[in-house]
Amino acid sequence: MTTPIQYARDHAETFRQQLFELLRIPSVSTDSAYTGEVRRAADWLAADLKRIGMQNVAVMPTAGHPVVYADWLNAGADKPTVLIYGHYDVQPADQKKDGWSSAPFEPEVRDGFIYARGSSDDKGQAFVHVKTVESYLATDGKLPVNVKMLLEGEEEIGSKNLQDFLKTYADMLRADVAVISDTGMTDVDQPEITRALRGLTYMQLDVQASKIDLHSGGYGGAIHNPALALAQIIAKLHNPDNSIAVPGFYDKVRPLTDTDRAEIASLALSDEKYMEITGAPGIWGEAGYTADERITGRPTLEINGLLSGWTGEGAKTVLPAKAMAKISCRLVADQDPVEIYELVKAYVAQITPPTVRAELKLLNMGDAALMETDMPEMQAAVRAYERGWGKAPLFARTGGSIPVVADFKRILGAPTIMLGFGLNTDGAHGPDEHYSLEMFRKGIDTAIYFLEEVAK
């Protein structure tokens, strides 16, 4: 009798061809001109899920692009329920404008990599799970665990309708553990499990002096220029050692233990490497921490945008009425995003001079996530990677945020395992995005093993 692993081997070429079909659909969620294509990708996935034997397959409407849902719940009540999350929408891509070597929606294989928009982020990685389920159902006729699959079409536009969807269908989606394959690793030969995500508090600071823009000749020198005042406020948000000056900001930060630091160091890049990748003339950051510790284990305060007065070409002698900054903090466990907003707000109020008015608004937020390595589901993932790769995985942390992880915890009560099968060099969001055929194959193996291991 054929095993799921053997089935996956035997159908590797078919799986690739099927993935190519999906990659050919330009499901660009950010551009309303592609709304029909996004829908077409959802329908394509729903048809494949039906074909392989998944149940309750539905393309479910939201206020935006639809969610593809499917489940298979016949493993029995004593077996865990795994919620598999992925997204089928992609970033925009224009061959000429963005400088692709081949057409972004005409996938082709070069040197063992599939080149196409969405190949890694996230169609390729989501498809790993569809083919995993197929490999089981086509051989064993059943899955080792109960599986619910949720493939959304708005990840690239901030998953803006997903939270409502999770709330509305919380009972239907309830699971013991969630799995997301939407992260990368550094080395194709060394598996990694991302176990930490940073949270986010995203704010807007508006500073105003006069009611309307003034002539800089008529009033300049006697009215506090709000762009200057904004810069003066921003300059007080960090201490000379580049730590954040907001009182109380670090109070709830879980300190990095020696084990944490060793874990981070195991996958760290050198300062020189960061300079090479970014082109920045130097490495910057909080004193006492390495670049990787700053990015993955410590909170930050970034200026994401600035706007005031005249920003076009040439000169306009305006004394602006207003100046605006977008300010965001990446948070680590156990910081609370709302509390951080309150702390920054109080500090800004304290340092704002009486010659201007300042208002700090909360725009967006998300909790940090730190998954313990001794969780049974995490240990199941460790064993799955060991079997899939023949090598024990390292634990990794990312500086980014995947807000849905906190939503899964809060709304569905499920912890999330980041079962990433991408590479950090895949070029997600950039030109020539690609996905390693080897990662695709190892990913399916590992996902097959994971369902087996998590059932134990």
Three-state DSSP class for 223?
A: strand
Choose one: 36-44, 125-133, 286-294, 372-380; the region binding a copy of itself (CB under 8 A).
286-294
> What amino acid is encoded at 291 in this protein?
A
288 binds a copy of itself, rule: CB under 8 A: no
Binders of a copy of itself among residues 109 to 168 (CB under 8 A) are: 158
Place of tokens 């490497």: 273
In DSSP terms, 365 is beta-bridged to 201
217 and 317 Cβ atoms separated by less than 8 Å: yes
**Is residue 371 involved in binding a copy of itself (CB under 8 A)?**
no
Q: What is the DSSP letter of 409?
A: I
In the set 38, 83, 356, 419, which binds a copy of itself (CB under 8 A)?
Answer: 356
Stretch that binds a copy of itself, among 131-139, 255-263, 288-296, 379-387 (CB under 8 A): 288-296
**From 63, 96, 221, 258, residue interacting with a copy of itself (rule: CB under 8 A):** 221
Q: Which of 39, 274, 409, 425 binds a copy of itself (CB under 8 A)?
A: 274
Give the angle 31-420-164 at the CA atoms, nearest 5°: 50
Which has the closest alpha carbon to 403: 161, 91, 61?
A: 161
CB of 284 to a copy of itself, least distance (A): 4
Q: Which of 201, 189, 177, 140 is nearest to 6 (CA)?
A: 140
Interface positions, 225-264, toward a copy of itself (CB under 8 A) = 225, 227-228, 230-232, 234-238
Chain positions 50 to 109 lying near a copy of itself, rule: CB under 8 A, are none
Binding mask 417-456 for a copy of itself (x = CB under 8 A): ------------x---------------------------
DSSP-assigned letter for residue 90: B
Q: Compute the distance between CA of residue 39 and CA of residue 46 in angstroms, rounded to an integer.
A: 11
Query: Residue 328 Cβ, how far from a copy of itself at the closest point, in Å?
Result: 6
Provide CB contacts within 8 A for 292, sequence distance 6+: 264, 265, 267, 268, 269
Q: Which two tokens stand for residue 352?
A: 């704002």
Tell me the Cα Rg of the chain.
24
CB nearer a copy of itself, residue 70 or residue 267: 267
CB closer to a copy of itself out of 257 and 278: 278
Of 163-171, 299-307, 379-387, 445-453, the segment contacting a copy of itself by CB under 8 A is: 299-307
Residue linked to tokens 């909170």? 299
Beta-strand relationship, 199-208 and 322-331: antiparallel
Cβ distance to a copy of itself smaller for residue 149 or 365 = 365
Which residues 300-339 are close enough to bind a copy of itself by CB under 8 A?
300, 302-311, 314-320, 323-326, 328, 330
Residue 198: CB minimum distance to a copy of itself, A: 6
Instruction: Give the footprint of a copy of itself on residues 199-218 (CB under 8 A).
Output: 200, 202, 209-212, 214-218
- The count of residues interacting with a copy of itself (CB under 8 A) is 82
Piece of 36-44, 110-118, 356-364, 431-439 that binds a copy of itself (CB under 8 A): 356-364
∠ CA 122-443-9, nearest 5°, is 120
Rounded Cα distance between 192 and 392, Å, is 9
Altogether, the residues listed in the chain come to a count of 456
- Our CB check for a copy of itself shows the closer of 54 and 264 to be 264
Find out whether 334 and 254 touch, Cβ atoms under 8 Å: yes
State the pairing for strand pair 394-397/55-60. Answer: unpaired
Q: Which of residues 12-51 bind a copy of itself (CB under 8 A)?
A: none
Query: Based on CB atoms, which residue is closest to a copy of itself, 3 or 310?
Result: 310
E strand or H helix at 149: strand 146-152
Nearer to a copy of itself, 146 or 290 (CB): 290
Nearer to a copy of itself, 404 or 444 (CB): 404
